[in-house]
Amino acid sequence: MPIYEYEAISPGRKCKKCTPSFEVIQRLSDPPLASCPECGKEIRRRISRPRVILPGSAKGSDQAERKVAEYEQQGMYSHAAELADKESEKPEKAHLKERAMEDYRKAGYNF
């Protein structure tokens, strides 16, 4: 399931959930959230630029691991987990599966 980012429409609010942004795992068929689950104020889904990594590219693989580390440093654990999980499907990157699971846990997902 994809991970969507949401942000408050009105800047300067004090809600810990929607300021500055938060992530939600939703099905593609689920409608976008219209209000913050904490404060009830209006929110919008953020559009993020997709990151494309060409298969079989050693340079791309190194970039992916650096990006995972960057996400972890920024506290964006669900992004880090999703990228590490995808990369762990490659035989040479199987070691990233544990890292992905740990990042999912840090993001608050239970398995």
- What is the pLDDT, as a whole number, of residue 4? 85
Residue where the block lists tokens 């972890």: 72
Q: What is the pLDDT of residues 31-60, one digit of tens each?
A: 999 988 888 888 888 876 665 555 555 554
pTM: 0.46
Concatenated DSSP letters for 61-88?
A: HHHHHHHHHHHHHTT-HHHHHHHHHHHT
| Cis ω for the linkage preceding 50 (within 30 of 0) | no
CA angle (3, 27, 24) in 5-degree steps:
35
- Rounded-to-integer distance, Cα 71 and Cα 55, Å: 21
Can you give the pLDDT at residue 79?
A: 92
pLDDT of residue 13: 67
**What does the pLDDT read at residue 56?**
55
93 DSSP 8-state letter: G
Predicted confidence at residue 64, as pLDDT, reads 85
DSSP state letter for 90: S
pLDDT less than 70: residues of the chain: 1, 11-13, 48-61, 111
